[in-house]
C-alpha cells in the first residue's frame, strides 16, 4: 500500500477516534502537566562513550563522536531509521564530527589522514572530502552553513592557528588574526559571516566577527581583558558570548554592529554566561548566579530582560540551547536524585526529561519545532551516551493541552504528507505515523 492510500485509510478512521475521545476544544493538560516523551540511547560503535555535537533542523539527524571496539574515536551520524553510522575517516583511525547542515546531509569535522595529519573534512552522500590545509599544517572544521556549502574552523600557518573559511569555489581562506592564534567556532546560515576567538597583541583572548567586506573585527570586551563567542544568529548580525567587565566579573553579552557589546546583567549575582541565541538574535539563553550565589538557567529578551527559568527541586540549572523562534529551551538542572536534562516552554515551564541511568544528563540542542532534544547522559560509570529525546506528538501545537485542535492540525499535516506528520522520523508519512499519533492522543500524552 502506498503512503497516500495509507493516509486516506487513516483519515477515514479519524472520525471514530475523535468521537470516542474525551477531549474537547478546551482540552485537558497533557498527561496532567507531565512531560510525555521518550529518551533513546544512541549507543556507540562498539566502544564506550558517545557525545552529540550537531542536530539537523527537523531533529532527525544527530552527529558527533563515539569510540569503536578498538577504542579509536570516530565521527558518527545517527537517524531513527538507520541508527548510528560510522562516517569513516580520511585514511587514519580517528575522526570527529562537529557540525551538520540544516537538512542533515552534510557533516563537517576533523580526521587523521593516512599519514597521521589532522585535516578538516566535509562529508556528503557517504564520501568524506579532505578540505586540506595551508601547506603541511593541520586543519579542523567546527561549523557549517545551513546548506553545508560553507565551512568554518581553523588551520595552521607556520605553526600558528588561523581562523579559516572553506567553500567549494574559494577553498581554504585564511581569515586573519587579531595578533596571535585565531579559531572560528560559528558561521551564519548563508556562510558569509564567521565568528570566533583570537589572541590580541597583548596576549588576551577577544571575540571576533569576520565578513568579506569588513575583515576580522575585534568585538572588544565589557571593560575587562577577555571575551569569547558562543553563538551567532542565523543572519549573522548578532553575536553572543561571555566577557569580563571592568572589575573582572564574568558577564553574558549580546553584540550588534549598531549597538556594540551589551552587558545583559545577571539574576542578582555576579556571573552570567550566554550559551545560545535564537535565529533572529532576539532571545539568548545561558546561566547566571542569583543573589544567593546559586546558578540558574536564564532566558533573555529585550522586552523581558533576563528571566529565571526555575529549577527542578535543587538550586542548579543551566540553559544550553534554544529553538530558532526562542520559545523552547533545553539544558541541565539538578533534582533531588541528581542532574537531569530539561526542556522549558512558556506554557509548561521547566520539564524534567530524565536521564538514561546514572546520576547526570544534559540537553545540548533542540530541533526547530522544539519536539526533539539531544544531549548526553551517564549510562554507566565512565560511560556517557548521546541521547535523542522526542516528545510524543499528541500535543501537536505545544500549548500544554491535548484536544481537538491538536487532532485537526495533525490531520491536516497528515493529509498533505507534511514532514510534521512523520512521527517516527523514517522519512515517510503513512499509517504507522497515524497509529502512533492516535495512541498518544487517546492517552492524552
Region 316-345: mean pLDDT is: 96
For the cut 70, the answer to whether the pLDDT of residue 15 exceeds it is: no
95-99, 140-144, 189-193, 432-436: segment of lowest average pLDDT: 432-436
Q: Is residue 425 very low, low, confident or very high in pLDDT (cuts 50, 70, 90)? A: low
pLDDT surpassing 90 at residue 77 = yes
Distance CA 318, CA 310 (A): 10
Strand segments, DSSP code E, in 114-222 are: 118-124, 127-130, 139-144, 151-157, 160-167, 171-174, 182-187, 193-199, 205-211, 215-218
Residue 436 sits at φ, ψ, to 5 deg, of: -65, -40
**Higher-confidence position of 445 and 172:** 172
Question: Taking every pair of C-alpha atoms in the chain, what is the biggest distance, in angstroms?
Answer: 72
pLDDT above 90: residue 11? no
Taking the mean position of all CA atoms in its chain, how far away is CA 346? 19
Given a cut of 70, is residue 16 above it in pLDDT? Answer: no
Residues near 404 by Cβ (< 8 Å), separated by ≥ 6? Answer: 18, 21, 23, 24, 25, 27
- Specify the pTM: 0.86
pLDDT in tens, 350-377: 999 999 988 999 999 999 999 999 999 9
More confident residue, 308 or 419: 308
The answer to whether 266 and 272 are in contact (CB under 8 A) is yes
Q: How far is CA 439 from CA 392, 413, 443, 445, in A?
A: 10, 17, 6, 9
In this prediction, residues 45-68 reach a mean pLDDT of 97
Count of residues for the chain?
Answer: 445
Residue-wise over 432-441: b if at least 16 C-beta within 10 A, else e?
bbbeebbebb
What pLDDT, in 10s, does the model give residues 291-315? 999 999 999 999 999 999 999 999 9
Mean pLDDT check: name the lowest of 26-35, 52-61, 133-142, 165-174.
26-35
- What DSSP string describes 58-77? TS--EEEEEEETTS-EEEEE
Amino acid at each position: 500500500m502506498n503512503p497516500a492510500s495509507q493516509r486516506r485509510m487513516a483519515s477515514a478512521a479519524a472520525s471514530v477516534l475523535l468521537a470516542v475521545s474525551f477531549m474537547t476544544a478546551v482540552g485537558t493538560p497533557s498527561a496532567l502537566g507531565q512531560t510525555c516523551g521518550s529518551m533513546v540511547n544512541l549507543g556507540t560503535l562498539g566502544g564506550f562513550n558517545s557525545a552529540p555535537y550537531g542536530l539537523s533542523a527537523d531533529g532527525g539527524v544527530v552527529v558527533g563522536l563515539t569510540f569503536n571496539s578498538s577504542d579509536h574515536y570516530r565521527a558518527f551520524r545517527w537517524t531513527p531509521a538507520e541508527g548510528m553510522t560510522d562516517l569513516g575517516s580520511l585514511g587514519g583511525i580517528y575522526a570527529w564530527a562537529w557540525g551538520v547542515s540544516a537538512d542533515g546531509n552534510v557533516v563537517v569535522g576533523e580526521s587523521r589522514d593516512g599519514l597521521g595529519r589532522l585535516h578538516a573534512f566535509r562529508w556528503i552522500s557517504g564520501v568524506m572530502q579532505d578540505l586540506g590545509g595551508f601547506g603541511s599544517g593541520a586543519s579542523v572544521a567546527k561549523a557549517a552553513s545551513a546548506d553545508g556549502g560553507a565551512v568554518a574552523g581553523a588551520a595552521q600557518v607556520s605553526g600558528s592557528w588561523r581562523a579559516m573559511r572553506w567553500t567549494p569555489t574559494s577553498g581554504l581562506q585564511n581569515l586573519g588574526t587579531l595578533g596571535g592564534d585565531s579559531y572560528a567556532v560559528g558561521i551564519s546560515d548563508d556562510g558569509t559571516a564567521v565568528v570566533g576567538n583570537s589572541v590580541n597583541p597583548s596576549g588576551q583572548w577577544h571575540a571576533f566577527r569576520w565578513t568579506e567586506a569588513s575583515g576580522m573585527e575585534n568585538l572588544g570586551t565589557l571593560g575587562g581583558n577577555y571575551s569569547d563567542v558562543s553563538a551567532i544568529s542565523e543572519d549573522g548580525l548578532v553575536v553572543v558570548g561571555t566577557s569580563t567587565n571592568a572589575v573582572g566579573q564574568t558577564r553574558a553579552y549580546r553584540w550588534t554592529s549598531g549597538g556594540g557589546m551589551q552587558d545583559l546583567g545577571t539574576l542578582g549575582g555576579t556571573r552570567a554566561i550566554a550559551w545560545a541565541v535564537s535565529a533572529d538574535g532576539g532571545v539568548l539563553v545561558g546561566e547566571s548566579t542569583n543573589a544567593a550565589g546559586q546558578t540558574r538557567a536564564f532566558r533573555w529578551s529585550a522586552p523581558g530582560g533576563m528571566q529565571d527559568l526555575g529549577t527542578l527541586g535543587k538550586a542548579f540549572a543551566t540553559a544550553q540551547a534554544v529553538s530558532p523562534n526562542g520559545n523552547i529551551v533545553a539544558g541541565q538542572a539538578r533534582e533531588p536524585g541528581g542532574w537531569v536534562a530539561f526542556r522549558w516552554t512558556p506554557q509548561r515551564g521547566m520539564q524534567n526529561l530524565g536521564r538514561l541511568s546514572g546520576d547526570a544528563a544534559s540537553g545540548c540542542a533542540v530541533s526547530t519545532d522544539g519536539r526533539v532534544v539531544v544531549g548526553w547522559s551517564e549510562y554507566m560509570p565512565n560511560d556517557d551516551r548521546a541521547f535523542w529525546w522526542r516528545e510524543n506528538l499528541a500535543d501537536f501545537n505545544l500549548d500544554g493541552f491535548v484536544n481537538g485542535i491538536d487532532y485537526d492540525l495533525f490531520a491536516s499535516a497528515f493529509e498533505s504528507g507534511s514532514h510534521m506528520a512523520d512521527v517516527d522520523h523514517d522519512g515517510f508519512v503513512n499509517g504507522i505515523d497515524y497509529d502512533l499519533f492516535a495512541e498518544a492522543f487517546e492517552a492524552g500524552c
